[in-house]
């Protein structure tokens, strides 16, 4: 539960900072359309802010944008989804225009010139840029937070995630190629890159079209962050990890309006005072940590013994259970789970791990792998020149770290996985999640020290909330989570968000009541036996 809280706390940071940074960028694009009139007028009235942690001036337009969009979301999912879909269509059309026109006017010398060309800052610059711009991909987890609004979440959520990530990645590659072929990298305006790039080549009319598309695109992103943030707060509140009033749902709109107002106001205040660069870096580190924990959890849960057979034995034949999970049926019809135990071909590891609890060795191996991944990334960051020059102690350390990491993966592979047939699950476990852990940590070590300090302050606040409130009010141990949007073996009943039902989940999991009503994700009784 502690690690789940850490993930949730950082996802709150991700969406809050994400909304603020997009609002700030939105304001910058509108300001560029009016040749800086908005920013210059604001500075003439308020003066410049000379604090290092703050922006150059208070951005009142960004503040207003956050408030307005939060109010629009308050009309309900259907209404906001229509607006969001309309803006997305405009954004895609403008993106196609940018790619087509940009590649038509492309100058290949921008990639081959002696001033830097295609890779001006080397591989290290790419990694540092990827760590900072990681926020460009964070919106995909908004899909998972809308599980209660989905008609068939076990199918549509994984499919939407894969498709959206593929389309977005392709779009980023093509737009980035068009931009850097249109204008040399050193002439790109960071506040309004695409509009100024077309002005640079004399296509002023495209500047205004692109600005419109960029504003529409950032509007959909802002909707995504403000859409997810109150739902994340709700999910944590109904589990007792955040304050109880954050788990209330408005009876008329079927939305957590209190959360929406709080999250919208907090995002607006952050957008008012902080500049875009600091917001982006601050958001990236929390997101990278959360995704690192998620990747580690995927490995741990895949090798953790499940108690689901105990719930199935009342109505499901043992043969069916054995077909869907890694289990052994003994002559006395007793079902023994093999998940998390050593495979026969790795029995030579028995003297070392044979007496350990199933799954515990894998958990320890994941922890050690993560620690040594961090050590390896830090070594490459601080001793790059020593490694290039062949300094013996750096090479020995690097080889030692890699050996320990490879040994951890071998230990994990030596155990039985849970082979339950789910509609969607991560392939090639533990290798893909392990690669994700390594890449995320590599990105994190490229962020500057001030970003780390801000992040530690945020985490300290989270620890105070958890240990002073959450740990004492947690619903852990009272049955299944009341917000199970990721129950992949079921399909949500087509009822309003936050609605109630008397149906209990089959087996050992029984729904619980609270003083504010049962807001559990709805699981159809018939589908629960699938």
pLDDT in single tens digits along all 530 residues of the chain: 888 888 888 888 878 888 888 888 888 878 877 878 888 888 888 877 777 667 778 889 989 989 988 888 777 656 566 777 787 788 888 888 888 888 888 888 888 876 667 888 888 788 778 877 776 776 676 677 666 667 787 788 888 888 888 988 898 899 899 988 888 888 887 767 888 888 877 887 887 888 788 788 788 778 877 878 888 888 888 888 888 888 888 777 677 888 888 888 999 998 888 877 777 777 778 778 878 988 999 999 999 886 544 444 333 443 333 433 444 444 433 345 688 888 888 888 888 887 888 889 999 999 999 999 999 999 998 888 888 888 889 999 999 999 999 999 999 999 998 887 777 788 898 999 999 999 999 988 888 887 788 888 888 999 999 999 888 888 875 544 443 333 333 333 333 443 333 333 333 333 333 444 443 333 333 333 33
As given in the structure block, the two tokens for residue 105 are: 């006017």
Residue 250 within any structural domain of the chain: yes
CB 343 within 8 A of CB 415: yes
| Residue 333 confidence (pLDDT) | 37
Residue 527 within any structural domain of the chain: no
Shared domain for 390 and 250, answered yes or no, is no
Residue 90 within any structural domain of the chain: yes
CB atoms within 10 A of CB 212: 16
Residue 152 within any structural domain of the chain: yes
Please give the span between the terminal C-alpha atoms of the chain, in angstroms, as a whole number: 28
CB 306 within 8 A of CB 272: no
Rounded Cα–Cα distance for residues 264 and 258 (Å): 10
Of 231, 256, 274, which marks where a domain is finished?
Answer: 274
Shared domain for 265 and 327, answered yes or no, is no
Shared domain for 314 and 250, answered yes or no, is no
**Distance, CA of 377 to chain centre:** 22
Q: What is the CATH number of the domain that holds 250?
A: 1.20.1740.10
Nearest to 222 by CA among 487, 490, 436, 25: 25
382 Cβ neighbours under 8 A, 6+ residues apart: none
Rounded Cα–Cα distance for residues 155 and 164 (Å): 14
Q: Three-class SS of residue 166? A: helix
| Residue 334 confidence (pLDDT) | 38
| Residue 516 confidence (pLDDT) | 40
Rounded Cα–Cα distance for residues 63 and 20 (Å): 8
Nearest to 259 by CA among 286, 220, 227: 227
Alpha helices in 303-448 (DSSP H): 308-312, 318-324, 350-353, 360-382, 384-388, 392-413, 431-444
Element (H, E) at 335: strand 335-337
Q: What are phi and psi of 491, to 5 degrees?
A: -125, 135
Domain that holds residue 68: 2-46+55-274
| Residue 48 confidence (pLDDT) | 78
**Crossing angle for the helix pair 153-182 and 193-200, nearest 10 degrees?**
30
Shared domain for 254 and 391, answered yes or no, is no
Bridge partners, 5 (sequence order): none
Shared domain for 207 and 332, answered yes or no, is no
Shared domain for 184 and 35, answered yes or no, is yes
Element (H, E) at 328: strand 327-329
CB 418 within 8 A of CB 303: yes
Of 274, 294, 319, which marks where a domain is finished?
Answer: 274
Angle at 337 between CA 331 and CA 339, to 5 degrees: 145
Nearest to 337 by CA among 369, 371, 313, 373: 313
Rounded Cα–Cα distance for residues 132 and 154 (Å): 32
**Crossing angle for the helix pair 276-302 and 449-465, nearest 10 degrees?**
60
| Residue 460 confidence (pLDDT) | 92
Q: What are phi and psi of 523, to 5 degrees?
A: -115, 120
Residue 83 within any structural domain of the chain: yes
As given in the structure block, the two tokens for residue 48 are: 């410049």
Q: Which residue has the tokens 């870096």?
A: 281
| Residue 412 confidence (pLDDT) | 94
Shared domain for 107 and 214, answered yes or no, is yes
Of 405, 426, 447, which marks where a domain is finished?
Answer: 426
Shared domain for 345 and 267, answered yes or no, is no
Domain count, the chain: 2
Q: Provide the sign of the torsion angle of the four alpha carbons 499, 500, 505, 508, taken in this order.
A: positive
Residue 366 within any structural domain of the chain: yes
Rounded Cα–Cα distance for residues 363 and 445 (Å): 24
| Residue 282 confidence (pLDDT) | 74
| Residue 374 confidence (pLDDT) | 94
| Residue 53 confidence (pLDDT) | 67
| Residue 299 confidence (pLDDT) | 94
Rounded Cα–Cα distance for residues 427 and 414 (Å): 17
Shared domain for 180 and 240, answered yes or no, is yes
Shared domain for 202 and 151, answered yes or no, is yes
Residue 448 within any structural domain of the chain: no
Does the pTM surpass 0.75? The reply is no
CB 260 within 8 A of CB 74: yes
Angle at 68 between CA 63 and CA 74, to 5 degrees: 130
Shared domain for 211 and 332, answered yes or no, is no
| Residue 384 confidence (pLDDT) | 81
Shared domain for 267 and 342, answered yes or no, is no
Residue 529 within any structural domain of the chain: no
| Residue 275 confidence (pLDDT) | 75
């Amino acid at each position: 539960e502690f690690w789940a809280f850490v993930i949730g706390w950082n996802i709150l940071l991700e969406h809050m900072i994400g909304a603020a940074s997009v609002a700030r960028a939105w304001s910058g694009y509108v300001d560029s359309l009016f040749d800086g009139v908005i920013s210059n007028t604001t500075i003439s009235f308020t003066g410049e802010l000379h604090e290092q942690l703050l922006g150059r001036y208070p951005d009142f337009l960004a503040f207003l944008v956050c408030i307005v969009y939060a109010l629009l979301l308050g009309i309900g999912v259907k209404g906001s989804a229509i607006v969001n879909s309309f803006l997305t269509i405009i954004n895609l059309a403008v993106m196609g225009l940018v790619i087509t026109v940009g590649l038509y006017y492309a100058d290949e010398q921008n990639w081959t010139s002696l001033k830097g060309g295609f890779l001006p800052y080397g591989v290290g610059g790419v990694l540092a840029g990827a760590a900072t711009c990681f926020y460009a991909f964070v919106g995909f987890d908004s899909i998972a937070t809308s599980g209660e609004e989905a008609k068939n979440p076990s199918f549509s959520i994984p499919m939407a995630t894969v498709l959206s990530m593929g389309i977005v990645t392709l779009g980023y590659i093509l737009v980035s190629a068009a931009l850097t072929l249109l204008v040399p990298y050193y002439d790109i305006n960071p506040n309004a890159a695409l509009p100024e790039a077309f002005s640079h080549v004399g296509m002023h009319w495209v500047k205004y079209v692109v600005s419109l598309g960029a504003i529409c695109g950032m509007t959909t992103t802002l909707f995504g962050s403000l859409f997810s943030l109150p739902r994340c707060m709700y999910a944590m509140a109904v589990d007792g990890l955040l304050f109880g009033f954050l788990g209330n749902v408005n009876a008329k709109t079927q939305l957590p309006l209190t959360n929406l107002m709080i999250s919208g106001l907090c995002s607006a205040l952050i957008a008012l005072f902080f500049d875009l660069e600091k917001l982006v870096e601050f958001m990236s580190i929390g997101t990278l940590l959360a995704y690192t924990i998620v990747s580690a959890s995927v490995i741990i849960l895949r090798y953790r013994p499940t108690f689901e057979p105990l719930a199935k034995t009342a109505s499901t034949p043992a043969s069916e259970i054995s077909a869907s999970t890694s289990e052994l049926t003994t002559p006395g019809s007793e079902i023994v789970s093999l998940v998390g135990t050593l495979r026969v071909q790795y029995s030579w590891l028995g003297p070392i791990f044979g007496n350990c609890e199933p799954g515990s060795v894998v958990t320890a191996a994941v922890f050690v792998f993560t620690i040594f991944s961090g050590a390896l990334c830090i070594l490459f960051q601080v001793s790059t020149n020593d490694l290039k020059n062949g300094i013996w102690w750096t090479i020995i350390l690097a080889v030692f770290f890699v050996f320990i990491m490879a040994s951890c993966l071998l230990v994990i592979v030596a155990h039985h996985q849970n082979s339950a047939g789910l509609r969607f699950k991560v392939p090639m476990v533990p290798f893909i999640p392990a690669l994700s852990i390594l890449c995320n940590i590599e990105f994190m070590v490229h962020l500057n020290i001030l970003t780390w300090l801000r992040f530690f302050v945020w985490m300290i606040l989270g620890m105070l909330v958890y240990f002073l409130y959450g740990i004492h009010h947690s619903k852990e141990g009272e049955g299944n989570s009341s917000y199970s949007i990721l129950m992949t073996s079921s399909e949500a009943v087509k009822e309003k968000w936050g609605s109630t039902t008397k149906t209990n989940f089959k087996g050992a999991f029984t729904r619980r009541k609270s003083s504010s009503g049962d807001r559990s994700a709805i699981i159809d009784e018939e589908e629960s036996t699938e």
